[in-house]
Structure 1
Amino acid sequence: KLPLLLALSIFYYITRTPPNPPASHKEISKYPPGDHFSRRTTAVSKTLPLSFIFCEILVIISIHYPTSVFAESTMTALVRTSSHNFHAPTTTPIFLVGFFLTVCGACVRWSSYHALGPFFTFELSIHDEHKLITRGPYSVVRHPSYVGSLCVFAGILFCIFGPGSWIYECGWWDLVSVKIFAMFVTAVHMTTVFLLLSRMGTEDKMMRKEFGLQWDEWAKNVPYKLVPGIF
């Protein structure tokens, strides 16, 4: 499972790290504040899952190398050995589903980064020399990066809280406080999803205003926002 966790952390890091510097205040000030992502929310949704993955990696290494220098301290800190439900983190069907969703979502996000190039920012904005990009994933749906995000958010939650995960197998899921914390992490991700979905309309209006007939022609050829043939 260790190689899968390392790959998972890399793919998740890519999806939650802006490929370009933040948009300037001038570029985002013309849009409603509600359409801007909170950098704090983004940081939390990025850091917490990566921390859980890191803890799981440490536990797996400690189990396989019990005589290593840090094994005992790691197990003491990260495993509730008094719990009757302790098992070593393992690869489960739920984890594989989450891993598949995360990897697929990350690939869609990366292809969106590549297609938009310097125009891709996490903030809703239009650059001075902005161009309407209609190639790559943008020839399939109008908001492919959001599709990628939805897949990643669902997938990472399966991986860090589902059966086989550090939280689930090492006794922590027995604690009510941990379940409440898991709900908080899920709520942070759901908030991000809500912000993504709620700003699609604003983004379409913004692009139509900026590019006019060019956008209309693109929207005619690519009528779906997220899923071809459905929405």
Structure 2
Amino acid sequence: MSSTMPVIFKVPLLLLAAYSNFITFTPPNPRTAPDEQSKYATAKWIVRQVRPPWVRALEKTITQSFIIFEVATILAMHAPPSLAERVLPMLAWRPASSALGVRITPTFLFGALLCAIGGLIRILCYRALGRHFTFELSLRKDHKLVTDGPYAVVRHPSYTALIMVTVGTLLCLTGSGSWLSESGILSTLVGRLLVVAWAAEVAWIPIVMILRVGTEDEILRKEFKDEWEAWSKRTPYKLIPGLV
């Protein structure tokens, strides 16, 4: 099915992946004050560490740039021949005809689905937690334990969503048929270094999130005691219903 689907249909799915990334990696609230992070002060550095804002901004910029290049390539493929002949060589390190390799694959569709679902769950988590949702490990003043919405399904749905968007993005942008794999950028040393560094940074994020789960549960258990115990019995799974 995907092999016969016109490549132009890839554009809205790429834009959806871009939006999911923007939502997922843009803090919905300002950074918390140091005193609101104090209860996590004894947690391991690898769990507490938060990427500096400039690293997060750089990673988002690179991700969005890869998506823009792929969208531009697809649109150029559908442009008048005179325009395509001028634009495509600027988007490829191989002969411009390599752009014809950009296509929709099952891997891409699965990645786009993960991004869409993950982005939606992330939005629902932002709404459920409101001002309590922060990228830093912290307990806000007058913090409340939120147990409804997506938090009634698993205890850490925002991390589930982040993992889905992260994996989905890697599948969308690095699989066969993607601009990265077809443009020839990976045949250059600079291109390989850039893509490997970017992919490593993206893949590192969910690892830190998984490591955080136990730390957050322990702090919340101590803070909310019986309320947390009751919630953990109603919602026994941390990330994936029925599995984890």
Count, aligned residues: 230
The answer (yes or no) to whether the contact 1:157–1:186 under 8 Å persists in 2 is yes
- 2:79 aligned residue (50, 65, 73): 65
Q: Deviations over 1:72-101 (max 9, x none)?
A: 664333212437754252222111111011
Q: Distance in 2 between matches of 1:186 and 1:100?
A: 19
Q: Is the 2:24–2:119 contact (alpha carbons within 8 Å) kept by the matching residues of 1?
A: yes
Deviation at 1:180, TM superposition (A): 4.1
- Identity fraction in percent: 40
Alignment of 1:141 onto 2:154: yes
Superposed CA RMSD in Å reads: 2.2
Residues 45 and 185, structure 1, Cα contact 8 Å, conserved in 2 = yes
Which of residues 204, 218, 224 in structure 1 aligns to 2:231? 218
Matched ranges for 1:11-160 at <5 A = 11-32=20-41, 33-34=45-46, 35-39=48-52, 40-66=54-80, 74-82=87-95, 85-160=98-173
Secondary structure of the residue that 2:40 maps to in structure 1? coil
- TM-score, normalised by the number of residues in structure 2: 0.85
For residues 142-179 of structure 1, give each alpha carbon's deviation from its aligned partner in whole angstroms, at most 9, with x where no partner exists: 10111111111111001111112111122223345534
Equivalent residue of 2:165, what SS? helix
Deviation >6 Å, runs of 4+: none
Helix, strand or coil at the partner of 2:100: coil
Does structure 1 conserve the Cα–Cα contact (< 8 Å) formed by 2:151 and 2:157? Answer: yes
Answer 1 or 2: which has greater helix percent: 2
**Using a 3 Å threshold, how does the CA distance of structure 1 residues 86 and 73 change in structure 2: closer, same or farther?**
closer
Letter in 2 for 1:137: P
Q: Which residue of 1 aligns with 2:214?
A: 201
How many Å apart are 1:128 and its aligned residue?
0.5
Alignment TM-score, normalising by the size of structure 1: 0.89
Q: Helix, strand or coil: the match of 2:136?
A: coil
Cα 1:68/1:141, change in 2 over 3 Å: farther
Show structure 2 runs of 5+ residues with no match.
Answer: 1-9
Kindly provide the amino acid, as one letter, of the partner of residue 126 in structure 1.
L
2:3 counterpart residue number: none
Matched letter for residue 59 of structure 1: T
Counterpart-to-counterpart distance in 2, 1:143 and 1:165? 31
* Structure 1 Cα separation of the partners of residues 80 and 101 of structure 2: 13
